[in-house]
Amino acid sequence: MASQPLHPLIAPSILSADFARLGEEVAAVARDGETRADWVHVDVMDNHFVPNLTLGLPVVESLQKVSDVPLDCHLMIDNPDKWAPGYAEAGAYNVTVHAEAAHDPVMLAKNLRAAGAKAGLSVKPGTPLEDHLEVLKHYDTLLVMSVEPGFGGQSFIPDVLEKVRTARRLVDTGHLTLLVEIDGGINASTITQAAEAGVDCFVAGSAVYGADDPGRAVAALRDQAAGARSAH
């Protein structure tokens, strides 16, 4: 995961999908071609780390069986040291834990990788990147939250782009080796500024699953991000 991927990665968040039809909702962004998502983003919330409750390991295990798009699990939970490796063992491609919740983030990254997943570290909008730079050397992805974690459909917080720029600089100069991912409020009005700041992977929930055609929304967001990147 060292250099910037050839094209911007789009990761639809199933938080905005119809939970009664999750398999179909994933399939809607899994058809071959430009409408195919790069990753499917799965928001796990425990009603402790965030004030919302979504789904957990059994649902991820079921999704893993039907999805040939890699799963990107975003764990908004307390004590990820205990629970996160299970998601890696279930076959998730990337497992992201919160820097604010992890007790031993270096050991946790090692455990995630040993279980076969990429290791992701996420920071809430108010968490400085500087507090976690040493730890980030052990991670494959950095997930910059651009809303307060807990709910889909919130407004993008542009101040977090400074963290994206810092991370991009550190990756481009070889000080860090990771993908920069952004999550929250990404849509046609905000993706250009995020792409210009240096994001590699864009999570989009309501902008994809709130659209009439989720696959088309994936393709349009990717095009827009690619255009912003090449113009920069």
Ligand X SMILES: O=C(CO)[C@@H](O)[C@H](O)COP(=O)(O)O
* Least CB distance to Fe ion at residue 99 (A): 14
Sole window of 58-66, 95-103, 144-152, 188-196 interacting with ligand X (rule: CB under 6 A): 144-152
Is 180 within 8 Å of 198 (Cβ atoms)?
Answer: yes
Under the criterion CB under 6 A, does residue 13 sit at the interface with ligand X? yes
Under the criterion CB under 6 A, does residue 186 sit at the interface with ligand X? yes
Is 113 within 8 Å of 84 (Cβ atoms)?
Answer: no
Q: Which residue, 5 or 51, has its beta carbon nearer to ligand X?
A: 51
Q: Kindly give the pairing relationship between strand 201-204 and strand 94-98.
A: unpaired
Sole window of 60-68, 81-89, 176-184, 218-226 interacting with Fe ion (rule: CB under 5 A): 176-184
Backbone Cα Rg of the chain: 16
Nearest by Cα to 229 from 168, 175, 177: 168
Cα–Cα distance, 70 to 78 (Å, whole number): 24
Q: SS3 of 178, please? A: coil
Which residue in the set 42, 44, 50, 74 belongs to the binding site for Fe ion (CB under 5 A)?
Answer: 74
Cα–Cα distance, 232 to 227 (Å, whole number): 9
Nearest by Cα to 110 from 127, 128, 97, 123: 97
User: Is 183 one of the annotated active-site residues of the chain?
Assistant: yes
Binding letters toward ligand X, positions 55-94, x by CB under 6 A: -------------------x--------------------
* Least CB distance to ligand X at residue 189 (A): 12
Instruction: Considering the candidates 46, 72, 140, 183, report the single residue annotated as catalytic.
Output: 183
Question: Which residue ranges make up the site for ligand X (CB under 6 A)?
Answer: 13, 15-16, 41, 43, 74, 147, 149-154, 183-186, 203-207
